[in-house]
Amino acid sequence: MGCFKGVVAVGYINEAIDEGNPLRTLETLLLPTANISDVDPAHAQHYQDVLYHAKSQKLGDSESVSKVLWLDEIQQAVDEANVDEDRAKQYGLFNLGSICEKHLGFISLA
């Protein structure tokens, strides 16, 4: 019965991706039957973007026999989006530090 619930979750998630509504996609990613780990509600828009891109790539692949993202592919996309978000935070902090250094240098020259 668990396998059937996973297939139902796949259907809900793929429908939400197609709708293009990040909050709906987030809601489906959080379904207990989907069993997707490390979902952060703050990343809803990025999950939508990454999942939509992954699905578009799959639809464009003539060798793909499936037109939906399966749970392993969905988890991979969520993991990828989380890494992107972590990198963006690090980059943002790095830029903030550079900006502060430039301003402090400018202030000390004045």
| HSE, side-chain direction, 13 A CA sphere, residue 110 | 6
pLDDT digits (tens, 9 = 90+) for 75-93: 999 999 999 888 888 776 5
**pLDDT for the residue 91:** 72
**pLDDT for the residue 4:** 66
Q: What is the DSSP string of 31-98?
A: -TTT---S--GGGHHHHHHHHHHHHHHHHH-TT-S-SS--HHHHHHHHHHHHHHHHHHHHHHHHHHHH
**pLDDT for the residue 1:** 42
Q: Which residues contact 63 (CB under 8 A, 6 or more apart)?
A: none
> 98, 40 in Cβ contact below 8 A?
no
Q: How far apart are CA 24 and CA 44, in angstroms?
A: 9
> 81, 50 in Cβ contact below 8 A?
yes
8, containing H or E segment: helix 2-19
pTM, rounded to two decimals: 0.77
Residue 72: is its pLDDT beyond 50?
Answer: yes
